[in-house]
Amino acid sequence: MRRRLIQSTLAVVLVVIAVFGVSLVIVETRTISNSAQERVDSEAVRLASIVDSRILGAEDVTAEILRNQVTKDQHAQIRIPGQPPIEIGTRPEGDVIRATQQGEEGESVTVEEPRSSVTREVGRTLLIIGAVALLAVVAAVLLAVRQANRLASPLTDLAETAERLGSGDPRPRHKRYGVPELDRVADVLDSSAERIGRMLTAERRLAADASHQLRTPLTALSMRLEEITLTDDPDTVKEEANVALTQVERLTDVVERLLTNARDPRTGSAVSFDLDEVIQQQLAEWRPAYRNVGRAIVSSGKRHLRAVGTPGAVAQVLAALIENSLMHGGGTVALRTRVTGNQAVVEVTDEGPGVPADLGARIFERTISGRNSTGIGLAVARDLAEADGGRLELLQSQPPVFGLFLSRTPPSRKPDGDSPTVR
């Protein structure tokens, strides 16, 4: 591309120089020739007037007297009636410029000048025009190279940016080139890079959240199925199968919730529900796991509370807190319910060492964990709580107390049938 730009610019300049240069040469040649002819005519008139004045004054007209009146490049011949011709200067050879002037006393004055003087002047003019044309060509080449680099280099950068996007590197470059059209392309590429980056981040986040959130329900389901395979009692099989079906429903709800939250974390389907049912469901599911490690999980506090939110999302938040206590806490895990203002609060605490002081303010950040875990569970739990208008906070570090705050005001529908909103 650089070569084509340089060649096209140089071609345009050469055409312009050829058209205007030839015209200028023709005009200047004619101007110099006309000027030389006018100069010789003027010399003939001037010399004739001198001769006339001397004749009228009865003065001598000789070559010695008139020699200083003629330049060294010129030759003059004066013819006076009754006298021999007077020659002044050296007669030029070859082509000459000649002018003859008749005097008032019958004399004639002829002035000649070699045309070589005109040729030399034309040559000097052509040399100047050629030098100017050469400078114009050099300037055009430099300008073409600069312009070509200005256009080609940004295009190369934009091609590299597009290639990086195609290879999975969505970092925007935020580089501009001072050319509106190219800057517009760069804006579009940077916007595309940011969108691709957000999409990739969302996909990675969805994969990490899914692997974390599905692990616990799948583990619990596996335990139920193992118990079914180890018993021959039909009643036990039926009971465990019903629990397994409930867990399958929870697993389906987890998947749907993850997909919905990945598309738009604000699209919650908040309803008024019985908080006791969700808590008792969690206790039933987690007691076997706590029993296996010699620990207990209990609940206390205000009963028959109704809260606003998505039951499945609230169950996932509580499951994340209970699992966090199982992995990192110690002793008995207690779920306490209370009311503060217009909110229902579920506190989850244990008798373990608590949250380190350096992690207290960052415990809900992704990849932040006090042990060898992913650090995703609490971050996902907070996202789920906020999606339905609630919040999840660390109320106390030692012993650890996490609080899930949910609104108690039932959702109201707009008169026109729009989706429910939580006040």
User: How far apart (Å, rounded) are the C-alpha atoms in residues 346 and 343?
Assistant: 10
Helices and strands in the chain, H and E counts: 8, 11
Residue 417 has pLDDT above 50, yes or no: no
pLDDT at 204: 64
Task: Please answer whether residues 1 and 155 qualify as being in contact, where contact means their C-beta atoms are separated by less than 8 angstroms.
Answer: yes
Q: Across the strands, what pairs with 253?
A: none
Task: Please answer whether residues 81 and 107 qualify as being in contact, where contact means their C-beta atoms are separated by less than 8 angstroms.
Answer: yes
Task: Please answer whether residues 309 and 345 qualify as being in contact, where contact means their C-beta atoms are separated by less than 8 angstroms.
Answer: no
The two tokens of residue 47 are 């010399």
Average pLDDT, the chain: 79
User: How far apart (Å, rounded) are the C-alpha atoms in residues 345 and 233?
Assistant: 40
Q: What are phi and psi of 295, to 5 degrees?
A: -125, 170
Quick: pLDDT tens for 173-228: 777 777 787 788 888 888 888 777 777 666 666 666 666 566 666 777 777 777 77
Quick: pLDDT tens for 322-372: 988 988 889 999 999 999 999 999 999 999 888 887 776 678 876 555 454
Closest CA to 348 of 372, 376, 373, 381: 381
Quick: pLDDT tens for 74-92: 888 888 887 888 888 878 8
- Sheet containing strand 108-114, edge to edge, reads 86-88, 75-79, 108-114, 96-102
Q: How many CB atoms lie within 10 A of CB 213?
A: 23
